[in-house]
Amino acid sequence: MATKTVAFEIKRQASPDASAVWERFELEWRPGMNVTTAMMDIAANPVTADGHATTPVTYDSNCLEEICGSCAMRINGKARMACSALVDNLEQPIRVEPLSKFPLVRDLQVDRSVLFENLKAVKAWIPIDGTYDLGSGPRVYPQQQEVNYPFSNCISCTCCMEVCPQFNEDTGFVGAATIAQVKLFNNHPTGKVLKEERLRALAGDGGIQECGFAQNCVEVCPKRIPLTNAISDVSRDVLLQKAKDFFAK
């Protein structure tokens, strides 16, 4: 009996300046197979479906259980994590491309460092006095923890930015992930000491007013973070802050 196979089409690009080509692969199917397994299989036998030798595919991956946020790519047109993309649930040939809104490095690997720069700009941290023993933290009631915890699950995969029509070079929009972190830190009893600075960081060009409420972000988020709620709440706070700053002049 012939072994069952899985067909892939993968967009390849050797470098940012090279031209892109699509390569087709026929791989042996196995139960529970996901897109990252397919990449590993290609690395062990880098030959296309028509028998041409090629190179292993360059892509980001690490945990393979959808918690590190590395392996975001476009699979059959949808931005998602490759590790949790099971081939049995996908139409074939499975078309795999890099995220389109970030500078391409090679093949499926892109440079998403903009998100980490954004997190710096909004001071996404709790300004503790120091790491020496200062006793217990502030009391946080379970109801409050249950509101904050989902926002702390953001894996920085940038899928929400990829699918956002406003996330592009023209607007310089920070994107939903960063806004959700602003909500998280502004909600924290100690974190809110930087609330005004965070809101001002989102008040200018590329800030929260660039959001067009397309709601693509919340649909694509692999961690089901209530991103649009965060955007609404932070929008209101930014407006209040702007008004406050205006009258304080």
Partner 1 sequence: MASPRIIVVGGGLAGLAAVIKIAEAGGSVDLFSIVPVKRSHSVCAQGGINAAKNLKGEGDTTWKHFDDTVYGGDFLANQTPVKAMCEAAPAIIDLLDRMGVPFNRTPEGLLDFRRFGGTLYNRTAFAGATTGQQLLYALDEQVRRYESEGKVKKYEGWEFLSAVIDSKGVARGITALDLRTMELRSFAADAIILATGGIGAIFGKSTNSVVCTGSAQSAVFQQGVYYANGELVQVHPTTIPGEDKLRLMSESARGEGGRVWVPRTLGDKRPVKQIPESERFYFLEEWYPKYGNLVPRDIATRAIHKVVYENHLGIDGQPMVYLDLTHIDRATLDRKLGGILDIYEKFVGVDPHDEPMKIFPGMHYTMGGVWVDFNQMTNVPGIFAAGEAEYQYHGANRLGANSLLSCIYGGFISGPNALTYARNLPAAEGDGGHAAEVTRQGELNDRLLKNEGKENPFKLWRELGDTMTKHATVIRYNKGLKEADEKIVELLDRYKNVSLADRSQWANTSFAFARQLKNMLELSRVVVQGAILRDESRGAHYKPDFPERNDEKFLKTTKASFTGLADGPRFEYEEVDTQFITPRPRRYDAAS
Residues between 158 and 187 that touch partner 1 (CB under 8 A): 185
Q: Which stretch binds partner 1 (CB under 8 A): 114-122, 199-207, 226-234, 241-249?
A: 114-122
| Contact present, 37 and 57 (Cβ < 8 Å) | no
> Residue 147 has which token pair?
């509101």
Our CB check for partner 1 shows the closer of 189 and 212 to be: 189
Our CB check for partner 1 shows the closer of 36 and 228 to be: 36
Bridge partners (DSSP) of residue 9 are 24, 95
- Write down how long the chain is: 249
* Residue 120 touching partner 1 (CB under 8 A): yes
Query: Phi/psi of residue 180, each to 5°?
Result: -65, -35
Our CB check for partner 1 shows the closer of 25 and 185 to be: 185
CB of 21 to partner 1, least distance (A): 15
Q: Which stretch binds partner 1 (CB under 8 A): 117-125, 163-171, 229-237, 240-248?
A: 117-125
Among 146, 169, 170, 205, interactor with partner 1 by CB under 8 A: 146
What is the C-alpha separation between 69 and 57, in angstroms, rounded?
18
DSSP string, 222-241: TT---HHHHHHHHHHHHHHH
Instruction: Tell me, rounded to whole angstroms, the distance of Cα 99 from its chain centroid.
Output: 10
> Residue 30 has which token pair?
């196995």
Beta-sheet strand order (sheet of 78-81): 21-28, 5-12, 94-97, 72-75, 78-81
CB of 229 to partner 1, least distance (A): 17
CB of 243 to partner 1, least distance (A): 28
CB of 6 to partner 1, least distance (A): 12
* Residue 188 touching partner 1 (CB under 8 A): yes
Q: Which of 222, 231, 227, 226 is nearest to 68 (CA)?
A: 222
The footprint of partner 1 on residues 192-221 (CB under 8 A) is none
The footprint of partner 1 on residues 44-73 (CB under 8 A) is 44-46, 53-56, 58-70
CB of 32 to partner 1, least distance (A): 5
The footprint of partner 1 on residues 6-25 (CB under 8 A) is 14-15
What is the C-alpha separation between 122 and 180, in angstroms, rounded?
11
* Residue 190 touching partner 1 (CB under 8 A): yes
